[in-house]
Structure 1
Amino acid sequence: MLPVAARSANKRFLLAIALPADTATKNCTDQSEHGRLAKKWQKGGSGVVHMVCAITRHVAKKLTNISDLRLIRWHDAFAFRYRAFKHRGTPIYAFATITLQQLGCFNAEDTSWEWLKDQKNSRLQRFLKLEQNYLANQLSKPKFRKVERTFNIELRNRLARDDFSIPECIGKYEYFMRQAPGENFPVYYRRLRNGVSDPSATLTPEEIVLNQNAEPALNHEFHFVTAMKVSPDARQLLLVVENDREQCQVVLKDLESGKLQFLANVPNIKNVEWSSAPEPHRVFYFTKVDAHGRPFAVYSFDVATHAQRLIYEEQDKAFYVDLSQTKDAQFVLVNCNSKNTSEIYALQSHDIQAQPQCLRKREPGVLYFADHAVGQFYVVTNADGALNYKIATCKWKPEATKALAFSPWKVLIPEHEDVKIEDVDLFEKYLVLYERVHSVPRIRVCALGEENGVTSPHFIPLPKEHEICRVSPGINRDYQSHCVRFQVSTPLVPEIVFEYDMKQQNLHVLKETQLTDRSLKQGTKCKRCQTATPSFYEPRQFLCQRIYVIPTMKSPGVKIPLTLIHRRNLVYNGQNPTLLIGYGAYGTNLEADFELEHLSLIERGWVIALAHVRGGGELGLQWYHSGKKLQKCHSFEDYVSCTQHLFDIGVTNPKRLAGKGVSAGGLIMGYVANAYPQLYQALIMKVPFVDILATMEDATLPLTIHEYDEWGDPREKQVREYIRSYAPCENVVDNQVYPAMFVTGSINDQRVQFWEPAKWMYQMRKVQSLLPKRDKRLMMLKMTQDEGHFGGGGRLEQLEESAMEIAFLYQALKLPISHK
């Protein structure tokens, strides 16, 4: 299930912010393996694993209830990838800085950057090798290593060693996962449902659904499991496995024999859904991708005969195609989405010869997302100017012709000016709406009454201390249940899994995450009783507040939400080290949820600030539209306004302020680096979208045409000149003192091409080479060889990456590790 304001047919976004975690998580948690890696690190070997965690700039837009077993692992925030990054080798050049001569001759009159895009170009290879060795040089310095090690150990000490999920009912089974400390991948299980509510009833025996640790075939090139779908009879399992280049294959597992079958004749796929047709017709549908990675067609596949049939093909290159199954399993939906327009075709799931029937023809600017229950479709849409979305219904008429298969839409819940509908979940007797009011999440429950209406609307009473939070729907695959599950996390409280009884209207906690205090190592025992007594950190010692900033530029009526997290007794004396994070694109919310590394910072007197700038989705579609295309500069202006407000209220000063942006958020960092370098001491730019003009002018790149709705089409002169006015790589200033920077990229990134961060760093090196030594700042480029846009690694590798970022901040801001 994905947020309405952040959906498109690009399924991969599911792994970045909507999915809790990837089944392919690589966790080397056993002490022997960790010791082996540590020895390689000390000897200058290549065994240390690092990763890059990134939010894609190419987000998805679709509404679906996913019957994906992978979602059982819902308690993490991101999906991660495992790959080794060899950065600790002995440097070829023992230099503390990179000179212009080492970069190669730079001709100011030569404006071509084609050499930077060719992976086989010797000049590019030399440049990346120099950067790799420079990074290793910086990381090996005693002070940097000390800070990195301190935080790495601290974060590990707080990490839960055992991983498990609450059982989820799907059909006649309940599914769950567990991951032992020494396992690289979680193991998925199931057991038959008892059919009783007595908690003391004897549980039925468990059986393994998938143990990737024991499947060598799933541990080679295609080893990222991106989808797991159980067949309607619960006898077969469909797996979508992916490599670093985001190429996918389908694997069919027989759950009775355990046999795996790679379906080689189903190449270049992205997503799958089962048909509910009875035996002997076991059929599934899949989306096929083109040469640019765009899912453009839907096929059916007969498991018995391997026969394929084209169901739908999308001709418009701006549209992506995806599949979803309705909550009641009556229909498979073909979702066609551009950045601002939707069209959905419905297939009767039980009829393998069914033809797709359109719910509503596409209209420019009209988005809609559908599900089906109780004999009718429920549609979330912005049609008729409903900028914050409304709920409509329509019925399928099986006796009608193809063109008139659905009744006219009837408004069920109208739009409200101050309430943004972000997601919905359907049950047989209830409709659950995930809403946002003035950037604050809430959950509304409506009973589905007769005559297609709703009755008894009420709100789930979330704890008041969780007002500033992230709310995520659970799997909730039990269509007939009267209980809904969801997760809540705040910047100060790790994820809590709640279950709400919609019939009895009571709320209770199923699972909550506990963290040990950073000062207490795991295994510490109580002196009096000699038993393990971890000390848990106390959230009440910290403060999370949301204030509203008036833009420094003229924007009547605009107030920018700014979230501040810090110690409760912190004094605004203008000296507090501060990390200001921004994103502001695709209508995606910059969520205020828990980040382990942020806790370590705020305990030491840092302030974490989240700038919810225009272009994001916190205040509805209007907020999003005012930060895209020819209004994109509002995102930058809002970020600068938040920066200035931090100075005005005495939170920090430019020497103690760092900025951070991921992917499209990196565009903001690049802009402020050029235009306002004096305001920031350091910037973290992860897979930054900094060469936007070159990317948007190249229609041969994956996703470029799809992105016209977000950034504009540079073939139009006005758009091209507007993009040029803010594009970071087009506005580098010679002889300017830039902030310190930590920049990441990946050779295999299909969303932000590797040459974007490489070009940006090359330009920074050129500028720095002409500055006196006193004006040169720390510049680090981490370019991985075999990761994608979403990085790589498991939970331990994630913490290593976070520790590296923190060490960079301490180095750039010249802070002692003992800073309080």
Structure 2
Amino acid sequence: MKTHNIPPRAEPRPASSEHHGIVNEDEYAWLRDKGYPTVDDPEILDYLNQENAWFEAHMEPQQPLIDTLFQEMRGRIKEADESVPQKDGDWLYWVSFEEGAEYRKHWRKAADGSGEAALIFDEPAMAEGKEYFSLGAMSVSPDGRLLAYAVDDNGSERYTARVRDLETGADLPDAIPGTLSDLVWTADGSGFLYCLANEQWRTDNARLHRLGDDPKEDIELFHESDEGFRVSVGETSSRRFLVIASGDHETSEVRLIPADDVTAEPILVRPRETGVEYDVEEREGLLYILTNDAHVNFRLVTAPLDDPSRWTELIAGSDEFYLTGIEAFRDFYVVEGRRAGLDQIDIRYYDDPARIEPVAFPEEAYVAGLGNNPEFDQTVLRIGYNSMVTPSTVFDYDTAERRLETLKVQEIPSGYDASLYTTERLSITARDGTEVPVSILYRKDRPQGGPLHLYGYGAYGIAIPPGFSTTRLSLVDRGFAFAIAHIRGGDDLGRNWYLTGKREHRMNAFTDFIDCAKGLIDQGYTQKGRISISGGSAGGKLMGAVINMEPDLFGAVVAHVPFVDVLATMLDASLPLTPGEWPEWGNPLTDKAAFELIRSYSPYDNVRAQEYPPMLVTAGLNDPRVTYWEPAKWVARLRARKTDDNVLLLKTNMGAGHGGKSGRWESLKETAEEYAFILWQMGMVEAA
């Protein structure tokens, strides 16, 4: 490949906008294709291709390391593998990977043991010849005869739903493009519910498709008028009711429809009230509702189906226990939550409210949650489990015997010795006195003060669990410690942990991350400049914010599909996610204080003339969540303003979206590239 000595330079072109009397300059606004979501402007494509060539030229010398990393990562994955079968009605279902395959095959067999295993969906065959492939929703009809599925083959997350006859293997004529939801069958299997994405990639509807009908004639069961709300469909565990839910990041509203009478008037559980969220389960005409109406950490109430607004408290809200989920079965219900940031699963009984049976796990720090438990009459629960040192484990929990049975432990073909590693849960004091937890993994023979990789997210109330990863061993085995900063903005320590990192409190997420890095230095785990950091999407925004604030703290930065042009995006209500994001970040269109706050931290708006650490930035041309021009504009401005000669690379996947390349090996190659970049920039290539 030809060596490129001069980095690509996007031409700055004067452009500005004024809001609340403040003028904002945006000299790279032209990188947004006016025809988006179609991107065919030759000048824009040429710039992105130049950046890709710059990326390839600089990573080419690291190709031997990338290949080494990829092979060792691949060596930790059992290529020919399958999941533990799970019973649903008359069938056992499971998935498998074949040797070398990028994608899974989906199987089933009669639960009574008769007959042979049948291949019901072949992802490798469906993906053949495609640069990108994603199987979205997938649902078998109640009688087991039909399979509804949805596929995206370009990363735009606009799925086409189809129906397959499982007896013949042939697809029916039904095809619905542009879906973005689960596919939920009616009780008689004559049709299914789905949500259609509108031109702004928003699901503002729930629709009923009857098999054989023209999708243009499908019945709209519900339409959402608030542009900030998104509609989804589902079903209760009893499968007696289909669920139409609508909401944003802080408010929800749920309607129930009898699965055997889907055109009946929907039952509104409770009208929306700003700031009140709730989820609904049902058993024998009684609703079980998880809600934050009276306590920030949620409580559980019941209500009769014929009077769903009459709520009676069953489990009170608690400062210590954060209720995160409920699943109702025939003889008991399961409550999931977190206590002091640690996952809890409790079995509770309808006939004895005082009877609480917590599931006990074998380690002090772990990640655990209910797996797929499709049957209402369930006496054995499928549970997933792992920790930073324990590979993914599948348990069955016998509720009668109160006993865990190990069904499958993730196999690592190249070998893994857990005794070589140690994991800790640290507490680091942030600048406002808040104790922020950090989970850390390292080899026991690692020298004190060595390199450390710090990961963070901190948004949307999404907790980052301290779970197991085979890929991160490629850093840890080379002397890195791998740390996760459980910063505010996630809900790791409860709902307040989220609330104190969102909107007007957003700066807490950034300062928490910086303070965690400094705390790890102070406690001797690493040194200034020896910390590599990474994050994606909102975590990419975190990366952009912290390097604007304290760039010399970090030795290398990887920002995946980073949400960095926050102000411009939140000012543009025509973009897919913007109205629904205002409860999370604030609405700068109408609120001057929100405008000024976002402007104060938005990574793109705060790039300035200073030295920045080496950076690798990724983007997806078809990404509907973080549009490609955000990272492109950010990199262009960084190139123009930064005062150092450190490497700055932008890689745009021209045929993928928010999640990068599809397929387990193609995805793994991108992780190998990321780690090679980190090792290279941290001066550890020779040692590697």
TM-score by length of 2: 0.93
Please state if 1:416 is matched with 2:334: no
Provide the C-alpha distance between the structure 2 equivalents of 1:355 and 1:796, rounded to a whole number of angstroms. 48
Q: Which residue of 1 aligns with 2:99?
A: 181
Q: Does 1:430 align with 2:332?
A: yes
State the partner residue of 1:581.
455
Deviation at 1:571, TM superposition (A): 4.0
Tell me, which stretches of 5 or more residues in structure 1 are unaligned? 1-89, 195-201, 398-404, 518-535
**CA displacement, residues 148-200 of structure 1 (integer Å, 9 cap, x when unaligned):** 12211211222211120111111111112222114443222222222xxxxxx
Q: 2:55 matched to which residue of 1?
A: 135
Q: Please say if 1:537 is aligned against 2:439.
A: no
Q: For residue 41 of structure 1, what is the aligned residue in structure 2?
A: none
Give the structure 2 partner of residue 613 of structure 1: 487
Deviation at 1:740, TM superposition (A): 0.4
Report the equivalent of 1:506. 403
> 1:154 corresponds to which residue?
72
* CA–CA separation in structure 1 for the residues paired with 2:636 and 2:124: 41
Residue in structure 1 matched with residue 435 of structure 2 by the alignment = 559
| Residue equivalent to 1:290 | 198
Contact kept in structure 2, 1:176 and 1:189, CA below 8 Å: yes
- Is the Cα contact below 8 Å between 2:566 and 2:602 reproduced in 1? yes
Per the alignment, residue 458 of structure 1 pairs with 357
- Name the CA distance, whole Å, in 2 between partners of 1:635 and 1:415: 25
1:594 aligns with 2:459: no
Partner of 1:444: 346
Q: Is the 8 A contact 1:96 1:137 kept in 2?
A: no
Cα distance in 2 for partners of 1:441, 1:619 equals: 10
Displacement of 1:123: 4.3
Q: Does 1:113 align with 2:25?
A: no
1:713-745 C-alpha deviation (Å, 9 max, x unpaired): 0021111011111111111111x1110001000
Alpha-carbon distance in structure 2 between the residues aligned to 1:721 and 1:286? 39
C-alpha distance in 2, partners of 1:123/1:212?
Answer: 36
Once the two structures are superposed, the pairs formed by residues 205-220 of structure 1 within 5 Å of their partners are 205-214=116-125
Counterpart position of 1:803: 672
Which has the larger displacement, 205-214 or 126-135? Answer: 205-214
Question: Structure 1 residues 273 and 682, CA, compared in 2 at 3 Å: closer, same or farther?
Answer: closer
- Residue ranges of structure 2 left out of the alignment (5+ in a row): 17-24, 34-38
Q: Secondary structure at the match of 2:526?
A: coil
The higher-RCO structure (CA 8 Å, 6+ apart) is 1
Corresponding position of 2:650: 781
1:25-79 Cα offsets, whole Å, 9 max, x none, are xxxxxxxxxxxxxxxxxxxxxxxxxxxxxxxxxxxxxxxxxxxxxxxxxxxxxxx
> Would you say the 8 A contact 1:253–1:260 is kept in 2?
yes
- Cross-structure match for 1:317: 227
Q: How does 1:347-358 map to 2 (within 5 A)?
A: 347-358=257-268
CA distance in structure 1 between the partners assigned to 2:353 and 2:636 by the alignment: 59
Letter in structure 2 aligned against 1:283 = G
Q: Secondary structure at the match of 1:298?
A: strand
For the 8 Å contact 1:810–1:817, the answer to whether it is kept is: no
Q: Deviations over 1:383-434 (max 9, x none)?
A: 12x111111111212xxxxxxx426111111112111112222211111122
Q: Secondary structure at the match of 1:665?
A: helix
Check whether the contact 1:471–1:489 (CA below 8 A) recurs between aligned residues: yes
Q: Give the count of matched residue pairs.
A: 671
How far is 1:811 from its partner?
1.2
Residue 190 of structure 1 is matched in structure 2 by 108
Residue of 332, 349, 368 corresponding to 2:242: 332
**Alpha carbons 1:321, 1:334 under 8 Å: kept:** yes
Q: Which of 780, 783, 790 matches 2:659?
A: 790
User: How far apart, in 2, do the equivalents of 1:192 and 1:146 lie?
Assistant: 48
Counterpart in the other structure of 2:555:
681
> 1:262 offset after TM fit, Å?
4.4
**C-alpha contact (below 8 Å) 1:104/1:123 kept by paired residues:** no
What corresponds to 1:494 in structure 2? 391
Match of 2:369 in 1: 472
What is the Cα deviation at residue 255 of structure 1?
1.4
**CA–CA distance in structure 1, aligned partners of residues 538 and 152 of structure 2:** 24
**Residue matched to 1:387:** 296
Between 120-129 and 603-612, the greater mean CA deviation after superposition: 120-129
How far off its partner does 1:472 sit?
A: 3.1
- Secondary structure of the corresponding residue to residue 137 of structure 1: helix
Amino acid at match of 1:510: L
Say whether the 8 Å CA contact 1:687–1:744 is kept in structure 2.
Answer: yes
What residue number does 1:814 align with? 683
**Other-structure match for 1:732:** 607
In structure 2, C-alpha distance between the alignment counterparts of 1:219 and 1:310, rounded to whole Å: 36
1:288 aligns to what SS in structure 2? coil
Label 1:298 to 1:793 Cα distance change in 2 as closer, same or farther (>3 A): closer
Shift, 1:221, TM fit? 9.2
TM alignment of 1:23-422, pairs within 5 A? 90-91=1-2, 94-98=3-7, 102-104=9-11, 111-118=26-33, 119-141=39-61, 144-194=62-112, 203-214=114-125, 223-243=133-153, 244-264=155-175, 266-278=176-188, 282-306=190-214, 308-384=218-294, 386-397=295-306, 405-406=307-308, 408-422=310-324
* Deviations 1:97-133 (CA, angstroms, capped at 9, x unpaired): 416xx54467799744331112444543343232111
Which residue number in structure 2 is paired with residue 760 of structure 1? 634
Q: Provide the rounded CA distance (Å) in 2 between the counterparts of 1:305 and 1:763.
A: 51
CA shift for structure 1 position 624: 0.4
- More off after superposition, 181-190 vs 147-156: 181-190
RMSD: 2.1
Q: 1:442 to 1:584 in 2, by over 3 A?
A: same
Q: Which moved more, 1:346-355 or 1:605-614?
A: 346-355
Counterpart CA distance in 1 for 2:680 and 2:15 is 32
**Of Structure 1 and Structure 2, which has the larger fraction of its residues in strand?**
2
Q: Deviations over 1:67-100 (max 9, x none)?
A: xxxxxxxxxxxxxxxxxxxxxxx44xx323416x
Aligned to 1:56: none
Percent identity over the alignment? 29
- Residues of 1 paired with 2:584 and 2:349: CA distance? 37
Counterpart CA distance in 2 for 1:97 and 1:814 is 23
3-state SS of paired residue (2:373) = coil
Note the C-alpha offset of 1:203: 5.0
Asked whether the 8 Å contact 1:421–1:436 carries over to 2, the reply is yes
Kindly tell me: are residues 742 and 220 of structure 1, through their superposed partners in 2, closer, same or farther at Cα, counting changes over 3 Å? Answer: closer
* Contact 2:395/2:408 (8 A) holds in 1: yes
Paired amino acid for 1:293: W
Q: Which residue of 2 aligns with 1:7?
A: none
Amino acid in structure 2 at the alignment position of 1:348:
P
Q: Distance in 2 between matches of 1:687 and 1:327?
A: 35
One-letter amino acid of the counterpart of residue 338, structure 2: R
Query: 1:138/1:759 Cα in 2 relative to 1: closer, same or farther (>3 Å)?
Result: same
Name the SS for the 1:351 alignment partner: coil
Distance, in Å, in 1 between the alignment partners of 2:396 and 2:389 is 21
SS state at 2:472 partner: helix
CA distance in 2, matches of 1:185, 1:649: 43
- Partner of 1:268: helix, strand, or coil? strand
Given that 1:222 and 1:248 are in contact with CA atoms closer than 8 Å, whether structure 2 keeps it comes out as: no
Q: 1:617 deviation in Å?
A: 0.7
Q: 1:51 maps to which residue?
A: none
- State the alpha-carbon separation in 2 of the partners of residues 291 and 546 from structure 1: 45
Cα distance in 2 for partners of 1:156, 1:245 equals: 27
Deviation at 1:812, TM superposition (A): 0.8
